[in-house]
Structure formats: C-alpha cells, structure tokens
Structure 1
C-alpha cells in the first residue's frame, strides 16, 4: 500500500472532496468496486436459486467471471423474469457472444 506524507494526504483528501462536490460523484476504491461486483454476482445467483431451486455450476462460474456491473444488473432482471433456468442459460451464452 502506498501512503502519502500527512500534509500531502490532507491536500489529496481536500482535492477529492472538492471534486466530488463539484461533480456530485463518489469515489469508489478498487476494493469497493470488487465488493460491489461480487455482491451483484451473488444477487444474480441467489435470485436464480430462489426461483428454480438449483443453479448449474456452469451458470455460477459464468456469472462469477463477469466484471461488468451493467451486465450484472441486466442479468439480475433476467433472473427475476426468465421463465426457466434453461432460458437463462441461453441468454447468458448469448451475452457472452457480444
């Protein structure tokens, strides 16, 4: 881990705060991003498991390999609405081709 001297760290914190205020955005660390992605993957798998009582390992592995939060959001909606686990698998394979 890289640390800044306390004076520079304070300057950096002030800069980030002012930037966030100006842009109305929050800074997400890479660790937080990985956590958000992992949680999104878990939501998709859990939704499928609740609906169909079983999620094939191939589907779980494919979902675990996705690093696109917008795709995971789309897949969560699909998991909630899809008529069968087989239909979800087909849609998941189709997503991989794009």
Structure 2
C-alpha cells in the first residue's frame, strides 16, 4: 500500500471516529437542553443503573432510555449524513452513468 493511501486511511479512521462522536454528543446535549422532562428521566436512569459509578460495558445494556435518547439524536442529526463514493468501474444507476474514477 502506498504511503499516501495509508495516510489517507488513517486520517479517515481518525476523523470518522472523533468527529462523529463529538457531533452526536453535541446534538444529544442540545436536544436534552430543549426537553427538561427527558433530561430528568435520563439523569434518573443514570442514577438508578450506575449509582454514581462510571459506566461499564456491562451496564450499557441496562441504560435503555439513554440508548433511545442517543438513537433519536442520531435520527434527527446524523453524524455521517453523506458518504463519498468512487466508482471502481463504469456503472449505470437509475438511468445515470457513473464512469470509473481515474487513478490519482
């Protein structure tokens, strides 16, 4: 694999893993701030499940309301709403022809 390709792949993983998480959390906190009743139930669930402790992988399954909150935030404001694609061969889709991309 050429060095440029490796660098591009590493940057994609880094940015996708960092930016999408940050965007999801930012929209989740914003939406909670707009819905105090949901925020109250969210805090109640955290307290009843975690009892002031940090979450663990095992406790995540018990945070069902929290899961719904994050899913709704991602439905309303998806972190990755568009993904670029490059055609690796000529293809026709819905009457539109997409030509194979030229090597860079």
Q: Which TM-score bucket, shorter chain as reference? A: 0.3 to 0.5
The structure number with the bigger radius of gyration is 2
Task: Provide TM-score, normalisation by structure 1.
Answer: 0.34
Task: Provide TM-score, normalisation by structure 2.
Answer: 0.32
Higher helix share goes to which structure?
A: 1
Higher strand share goes to which structure?
A: 2
